[in-house]
Structure 1
Amino acid sequence: MEDILRSIYQERASHSNTIGVVMVEKRQKAIPTTDTFDVILLIIVKENDDPVFVKHYSYKDKKAAMHIVTEKQIHDWLLIGNNKKIFDWLYNGKIIFDRNESIANLKHELKEFPFFGRKIKMGLEFAKLIRRYTDGKAFFDNYHYLDAYNHVVHSLHHLARLAVIENGFHPEVTVWHQVKQIEPEIYKLYEELICSEETIEKRLELLFLASEFLIHKRTKIGTQHLLEVLEEKEHWSFNDMMAHPELGAYSVDLGILTEYLIEKKILSVVNVETKGQGIYHRYYKAPEKLS
């Protein structure tokens, strides 16, 4: 198979812009890491007009997909976690070209999972968890139980991913398999939501109570990254927070996370007078560091 596809990746590997080439072969039909393709060729480049360029090929009775991806896009995916397949490709793929051992170093970094990277990822997952939990609770309070159920399923998924990261692992495509081994308490909660014979209203009621405890338990570690950034200066406008290179990754979830932390008295609001009478600029302040 590699011989047949060699002409495709060799041309790319000869370019000075190419950092490395990884080949991923389909292993199990039940795990869709290759999107049903028999082979994925992941070609990582320094720069490209498009951050992601995909081309499909047929050979014999098989099919292959070539993904040309910029180095920056790879790092964005690894940070934000919105392309779960990339972890599998880098973990299990075969390196067939590696300029200056860049891919080998990346794989090593993934396995080591340095704590700084974990802090950011835990912050992002916690923000998504709060978004889903808050929206789900609002739907529940307004008797929209199916919409609430959908958000609760997603909130449990983010809670599961947060628990996996907290334990020093990257969440994989099969995250519930990981959680069953690492955090059986969360797995049991998910199982009860899906399999219980109680009414949907009763299931949700119990889940919200249990989730509130589990969220509280992880608030400190889930907000560590955000609070450390906010300690850099006395107070922040929301726009300044969004413009910060590390906080921008929180995207649309930063607002709801900020309000959640104010409600829990972890962040405080600082009102600064404007030229308009009775109107104030709203700023946000992290708690004082304990000496």
Structure 2
Amino acid sequence: MEDILRPIYQERASQANTLGVLIINKQQKNTPATDTFDAILLILVKEAESPVFVKHYSYNDKKAALYMVTDQQLHEWLLLGSNKKIFDWLYNGKILFERNEYIHDLKTELREFPFNGRKMKMGIEFAKLIRRYMDGKAFFENGHYLDTYNHVVHSLHHLARLAIIEHGFHPEVTVWQQVKQIEPEILKLYEELVNSHEPLEKRLELLFLASEFLIHSKTKSGISHFVDVLSEKEFWSISELMKHEELLFYSVDLGMLLEYLIDKHVVEIVNIETKGQDIFHRYYKLGKKLS
């Protein structure tokens, strides 16, 4: 397939905007890494009109997909983990072209996983975990057990991803295989939820009790990045926090994270008077309890 695609990637490689080109070949039948295609051609560029551009090709009984991705979009995927296949593509793809060792440096960065990037990624993952966990609890208390189950499965997935990041690795497609080697107790919780013959309500009840401890054990590392931001000044409005460059990726989960940390006495509320009687602006500051 590489020979067939050569004219396509050679044309792209000759352009100054192109940073690197990789090809990812299907290794086994029905592998998820290539989305059923026989080959993926990944072209990384400095900038483009669209952050992601996709083309599909056919040759006899074969099919291939071309992905042209900007450097900014690539790093957003790596930070948020919103495109899990990208790790597989970067790790296992064959380098066809790179400018100034761009892909080599990228792989080194992924392998070494700089601490600052790891802290932000953990913060984003912890915020997602809290959102799913708290929403699941609310559904449980109202007797909506199937909706609870859905949120709890997602919260365990975020917990697993958080544990993997904490140990210095990037979560990949096979998250449960990764966490099995790192923190098997999280996998055990997941298996008990999915495989137990107990009534669903009982399974969920037991899981909330067990996961409460695990979430508590991850809180200090999970909020480290958020605490760093809060420490930058005395108190913040929610608008200021949402606009902060390093908190943009926390997105809709930021408000729930704040409420969780207020409940845990990590964040304190600061009420500032408005012109209206008995109405206050609600601001937030770092509390004293971080253990």
Give TM class, smaller chain: over 0.9
Residue deviations 1:86-124 (CA, integer Å, cap 9, x gap): 111111111111001111100110011111111111111
In the other structure, the counterpart of 1:245 is 245
In the other structure, the counterpart of 2:273 is 273
Residue deviations 1:234-258 (CA, integer Å, cap 9, x gap): 1111111111111011000000001
Give 1:41's aligned amino acid: L
Q: How far does residue 287 in structure 1 lie from its aligned partner after superposition?
A: 3.0
In the other structure, the counterpart of 1:64 is 64
Number of residue pairs aligned between Structure 1 and Structure 2? 290
Q: How far does residue 146 in structure 1 lie from its aligned partner after superposition?
A: 0.5
Residue deviations 1:25-64 (CA, integer Å, cap 9, x gap): 1123354111111111110111111000000001121110
In the other structure, the counterpart of 1:261 is 261
In the other structure, the counterpart of 1:116 is 116
Percent identical: 72
Matches of residues 144-155 of structure 1 in structure 2 within 5 Å?
A: 144-155=144-155
Give 1:13's aligned amino acid: A
Q: How far does residue 277 in structure 1 lie from its aligned partner after superposition?
A: 1.3
* Contact 2:37/2:63, CA 8 A, preserved across alignment: yes
* Contact 2:30/2:36, CA 8 A, preserved across alignment: no
Q: How far does residue 275 in structure 1 lie from its aligned partner after superposition?
A: 1.1
Does 2:25 match 1:25?
Answer: yes
Alpha-carbon distance between aligned partners in 2 of 1:13 and 1:103, rounded to the nearest angstrom: 13
In the other structure, the counterpart of 1:93 is 93
TM-aligned CA distance change 1:212 to 1:31, over 3 Å: farther
Matches of residues 104-183 of structure 1 in structure 2 within 5 Å?
A: 104-183=104-183
Alpha-carbon distance between aligned partners in 2 of 1:142 and 1:27, rounded to the nearest angstrom: 47
Give 2:130's aligned amino acid: I
In the other structure, the counterpart of 1:41 is 41
| 3-state SS of 2:16 partner | coil
Give 1:124's aligned amino acid: I
In the other structure, the counterpart of 2:103 is 103
Instruction: Report which stretch shifted further, 19-28 or 211-220.
Output: 19-28
* Contact 2:266/2:289, CA 8 A, preserved across alignment: no
Does 2:197 match 1:203?
Answer: no
* Contact 2:265/2:287, CA 8 A, preserved across alignment: no
Residue deviations 1:147-172 (CA, integer Å, cap 9, x gap): 00000000000000001111111101
Alpha-carbon distance between aligned partners in 1 of 2:289 and 2:214, rounded to the nearest angstrom: 25
Q: How far does residue 289 in structure 1 lie from its aligned partner after superposition?
A: 10
Instruction: Report which stretch shifted further, 29-38 or 228-237.
Output: 29-38
Q: Which portions of structure 1, spanning 4 or more consecutive aligned residues, are displaced by more than 6 angstroms?
A: none
In the other structure, the counterpart of 2:16 is 16
Instruction: Report which stretch shifted further, 26-35 or 50-59.
Output: 26-35
Alpha-carbon distance between aligned partners in 2 of 1:287 and 1:277, rounded to the nearest angstrom: 27
| 3-state SS of 1:33 partner | helix
Q: How far does residue 181 in structure 1 lie from its aligned partner after superposition?
A: 1.1
So what's the TM-score if we normalise by structure 1?
0.98
| 3-state SS of 1:170 partner | coil
Alpha-carbon distance between aligned partners in 2 of 1:27 and 1:277, rounded to the nearest angstrom: 68
Give 1:130's aligned amino acid: I
Alpha-carbon distance between aligned partners in 1 of 2:235 and 2:33, rounded to the nearest angstrom: 44
Structure 1 gap ranges (5+): none
Alpha-carbon distance between aligned partners in 2 of 1:191 and 1:29, rounded to the nearest angstrom: 27
Matches of residues 208-219 of structure 1 in structure 2 within 5 Å?
A: 208-219=208-219
Give 1:199's aligned amino acid: P
Alpha-carbon distance between aligned partners in 2 of 1:217 and 1:47, rounded to the nearest angstrom: 41
